[in-house]
């Protein structure tokens, strides 16, 4: 049987020394013969930088990109040249990580906290600080809103803030360095659609059948990853240099947020649009109609 060749790209989370891939499941799927079973010859390769991946898509050197939703949505709005095939992870809330001496949100009194500005939009921090910690935002707790997760992480690691809401991989690194996670504050901030599956409109027109086969195969592959913890941890340790402890946290607290339906959850799309482009005519409903391929949206 002739196999259809597909080149799939993924990126690493910035500032983590290449330890965190947005979706490592392709490696396991290739080893297990899942793509081949679906008539595909898939390469799964790292290409760092959103713009670099778009250049490869536009040139035809690659066919599919795994990319964070805020970047894929902004690129679509700017160019109208891309389509969303699905979503591997709809939601994965940030962890609230604090200095080693702190244990509760109430101990943030007269201290500073950081959170990337994008996912902070629309979060009722003042009410939540008051309800959960008895603190008044702007009076006895300060919130800093840097432009990137990496900068929020750096502020914490340098001691320039006492706490930070961080994507889970950054939180794992901070915990390794002695910082504490506060569970009571780790359901407040989210980054909607953190792993989207993207291609270009022209590639979709040319390879629609192959892409449909890929989505079917990748559903199986994500399910395989989620049901094979030991194999996944081995992959994380060998390919990405995880310690056993980090591999365990990555599987149990991060990869577990992946979903094998690969559908875009509309309520999380609405959150993403509210963060990235709240003034878009027609809002999330119109964006869904123009951007997401038929059958890939879940109400």
For the chain, domains (ranges, CATH) are: 4-90+192-298 (3.40.190.10), 95-185 (3.40.190.10)
Pairing of strands 163-166, 95-98: antiparallel
Q: What is the pLDDT of residue 48?
A: 87
CA separation for the pair 250, 252 (Å, rounded): 6
Q: What is the pLDDT of residue 234?
A: 97
Q: What is the pLDDT of residue 5?
A: 98
Q: What are phi and psi of 248, to 5 degrees?
A: -65, -45
Pairing of strands 180-182, 195-200: unpaired
Pairing of strands 95-98, 180-182: antiparallel
Q: Which residues of the chain have pLDDT under 50?
A: none
Q: What is the pLDDT of residue 28?
A: 97
| Nearest-10 crossing angle of helices 69-79, 283-291 | 80
In angstroms, the Cα distances linking 114 to 96, 131, 198 are: 10, 19, 30
**Residue 68 near residue 74, CB atoms below 8 Å:** no
- The residue behind tokens 């013969």 is 33
Task: Output the pTM of the full model.
Answer: 0.93
């Amino acid at each position: 049987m002739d196999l259809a060749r597909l080149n799939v790209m993924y990126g690493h989370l910035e500032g983590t020394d290449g330890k965190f891939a947005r979706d490592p499941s392709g490696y396991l799927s290739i080893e297990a013969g899942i793509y081949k079973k679906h008539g595909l010859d898939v390469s799964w390769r790292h290409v760092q930088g959103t713009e670099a991946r778009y250049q490869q898509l536009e040139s035809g050197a690659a066919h599919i990109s795994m990319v964070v939703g805020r970047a894929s949505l902004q690129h679509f709005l700017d160019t109208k040249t891309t389509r969303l095939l699905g979503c591997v992870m709809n939601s994965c809330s940030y962890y609230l990580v604090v200095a080693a001496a702190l244990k509760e949100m109430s101990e943030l009194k007269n201290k500073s906290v950081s959170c990337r500005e994008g996912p902070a939009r629309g979060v009722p921090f003042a009410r939540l600080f008051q309800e959960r910690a008895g603190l008044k935002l702007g009076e006895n707790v300060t919130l800093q809103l840097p432009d990137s997760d990496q900068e929020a992480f750096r502020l914490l690691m340098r001691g320039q803030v006492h706490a930070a809401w961080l994507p889970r991989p950054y939180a794992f690194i901070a915990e390794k360095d002695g910082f504490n996670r506060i569970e009571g504050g780790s359901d407040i901030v989210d980054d909607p659609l953190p792993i989207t599956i993207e291609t270009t409109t022209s590639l979709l027109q040319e390879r629609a059948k192959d892409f449909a086969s890929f989505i079917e195969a990748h559903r199986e592959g994500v399910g395989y990853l989620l049901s094979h913890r030991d194999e996944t941890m081995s992959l994380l340790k060998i390919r990405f240099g995880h310690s056993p402890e980090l591999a365990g946290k990555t599987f149990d607290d991060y990869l577990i947020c992946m979903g094998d339906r690969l559908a875009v959850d509309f309520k999380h799309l609405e959150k993403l649009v509210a963060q990235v482009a709240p003034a878009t005519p027609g809002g999330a409903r119109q964006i869904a109609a123009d951007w997401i391929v038929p059958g890939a949206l879940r109400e």
